[in-house]
Amino acid sequence: MASAGLIHLGMDTSMNTVVVGVLGPGEEIPVVDRVFDDEESIRRADRAVS
């Protein structure tokens, strides 16, 4: 279970891909993922970084 606190989320979009970066509470290095810009890929990325 993740600890309570502020989560920082960054997204960089282009025509074909989205880069998502998530920095959780107490972390120093963000989790970064590049996914295709379609609904299915975005939903998978959401579960991966949660």
Q: Which one, of 22, 24, 25, 26, lies nearest residue 10 by Cα?
A: 22
pTM, full prediction: 0.69
Whole-number pLDDT of residue 1: 46
Where do the structural domains in the chain lie, given as residue ranges?
8-49
DSSP character string of 1-50: -PPSS--EEEEEE-SSEEEEEEE-TT-SS-EEEEEESSHHHHHHHHHHH-
Measure the CA–CA gap between 6 and 27, rounded to whole angstroms: 11
Taking only the tens place, the pLDDT of each residue in 10-43 is 999 999 999 999 999 999 999 998 999 998 988 8
